[in-house]
Amino acid sequence: MASPLSRRRFLAAGSALAAAPLLARPALAAPEARSGAPAPLHPPRLNPGDTVALIAPAGAVRPRLLDEAKRSMEMLGLKYTVGRHVLDRHGYLAGTDAARAEDFNRAITDPNVDALFAIRGGWGCARMLPFVDWTALRENPKAVIGYSDLTSLLMAAYARSGVVGFHGPVATSTFSPFTLASLRALVFDAEAGPLAPLAQDDPEPIVTLTAGTARGRLVGGNLTVLCAMVGTPYMPSFEGEILFLEDIGESVYRIDRMLTQLGQAGLLGGLAGVAFGSCRGCLPEVDAVGQFTLEEVMRRHFEPLAVPTYLGAPIGHITDKVTVPVGALAEIDADRGTLSLLEPAVR
């Protein structure tokens, strides 16, 4: 996710944080990677009248955004509780790492909370991962919903606790009929089948790179965030899984660089399939001497894998987005350009 922050503005922002440590330390050392991944665990479905916790695990939240999130929950027929640190400010973050994790942990263990909805993304989820009580999440599985920077939280939850999470709208997203139908089908109605229950108003063209079908559990999210997880104990195995990716505002050479990193880290070789979603604004450099298109870069990295792969999935920073359950068993059909659940993502 490219940032427009200039060097001057970055340095100015940094000076504002000088009085507080940039990286708070957890009381315990970061957890060691588990020798064996926990079995997938499906959280309970949401029902009208259930209570969700509105949390801010990443970027700072303005009061108007919180009000917008509350209205969205009411539109969904849900009650809500608000994390006590949601309006905290720690530089560009919604409070310290420990405070944001405290809201998350409290919501997980609160018997009156049925699911967790992120108010926004931005940056910061990865910083709070060492403070999260993964055992509590395993013992109290709940749907965690969000996308973009939430990639690290959803993937870590799957890796550390086995709990299926939902790469879908944040609470301040535009809930178009398409987006709403996908969220309801997966999280409320416990439906299996195609992730996209409706036709998009403005679909991206489906481009099949490698034809075929395959089955595996869904892993992935925002490419930039995913690459930043490489080498940490919070990244689940990709072996035999279906990888879904999306990004926004990244130059083509940056997409190339990030896919190179995933490949050289050994994460692409054992995949069952790949679905690449939206990459709005991912364009070649205007003044570059030579160019590759985004599709050319995709072909360079994915065609040698010889697994079903397609571009144009309705995933990411777009108005009409599907909700993708991280850790759920699915089938990819690269000829048709579809992802279909083989099991309900909730119970």
Active site residues: 148, 246, 317
Token readout for 71 is 């209205």
CB atoms within 10 A of CB 87: 17
- The label of the residue with tokens 């970055």 reads 10
Which residues, at least 6 apart from 87, have a Cβ–Cβ distance to it below 8 Å?
56, 61, 63, 66, 94
Q: Let me know the angle formed at the C-alpha of 214 by 211 and 215, rounded to the nearest 5 degrees.
A: 160
The token duo for 285 is: 């450099």
DSSP secondary structure letters along 42-68: PPPPP-TT-EEEEE-SSB---HHHHHH
| Owner of token pair 């699915």 | 330
In this structure, what token pair is assigned to residue 203?
A: 């679909």
List alpha helices for the chain, DSSP H.
7-16, 63-75, 97-109, 125-128, 134-139, 150-161, 177-183, 223-228, 252-264, 294-302
From residue 342, alpha-carbon distances to 185, 213, 280 in Å are 14, 13, 29
334, 213 Cβ separation under 8 angstroms? yes
Coil, strand or helix: which one is 163? strand
| Residue 136 near residue 109 (C-beta atoms within 8 A) | yes
